[in-house]
Amino acid sequence: MTFSPSCIVLNGSSRAFGNTKTLLNKMIQVLEEPFSSEIPIVDLCTLNITPYDYLGRNTGDDFFPLIQRCLKNFETIVFATPIYWYTVSAYIKIFLDRFTDVITLYKDLNEKLEGKKISLIVNFEGMHQETLRSVEENINSIFIHFCRYLKMQYKGAYFAHINLCISDQEKVRRLFS
């Protein structure tokens, strides 16, 4: 019997095999088979996805095939990002901006947004507790508003220091489901 995972992971790190990927692999190990070996991870830094363009001159880049794959085949998109300068990586921000193309240019995909789920995995290296709290609030707020506007469901975020082990396995399972 073939198994189709319900989620796809988009890794927003600037390197395909950095700390974000290490964290993702640790998290995926928490999931049971056949989940753990089947979840696709797409490294955004290996694709050509350019910033939003009002004139739609970048419709031929890698965004459309990827968003089409995400929305047609999966219930949940898991964004994974390192913290770069107190916020999500540029790869994630560019990808979020390009959802504007979905609602303005790709009408058939637009219909598929409603009810889709988004989860977020975040890793960071060194922030004071208070700074971390405000960064968490800001990032959560971006995704809460983004999902509300697009009628998607935000399942929440897992913020993990790179050296820490995964303490809340139940939460990991929920974010990847």
Ligand X SMILES: Cc1cc2nc3c(=O)[nH]c(=O)nc-3n(C[C@H](O)[C@H](O)[C@H](O)COP(=O)(O)O)c2cc1C
- Kindly list the residues in this chain that would bind ligand X in the complex (CB under 6 A): 13-15, 18-20, 82-86, 123-127, 162
DSSP 33-53: TTHHHH--EEEGGGS--PPP-
Nearest approach in angstroms of CB 7 to ligand X is 19
Rounded to 5°, angle at Cα 91 from 90 and 94:
80
Task: Report the nearest approach of ligand X to the CB of residue 6 (Å).
Answer: 24
The nearer residue to ligand X, 35 or 84, going by C-beta atoms, is: 84
CA distance 67 to 59: 12
Q: Which residue has its beta carbon closest to ligand X?
A: 18
Q: End-to-end CA distance of the chain: give it in Å, rounded.
A: 19
Residue number, 56 or 126, with CB nearest to ligand X: 126
**Residue 20 or 76: which CB sits closer to ligand X?**
20
Rounded CA separation 113/110 (Å): 6
Query: Which is nearer to ligand X, 142 or 162 (by Cβ)?
Result: 162
**Nearest approach, Cβ of residue 94 and ligand X (Å):** 15
Minimum distance of ligand X from residue 14's CB (angstroms):
5
Please report how close the Cβ of residue 81 comes to ligand X at its closest, in angstroms.
Answer: 8
Q: Give the whole-angstrom CA distance, residue 31 versus residue 24.
A: 11
Helix or strand holding residue 10 (H, E)? strand 7-11
Omega before 65 within 30 of 0, i.e. cis? no
DSSP one-letter code for 124: E
- Which CB, 125 or 168, lies closer to ligand X? 125
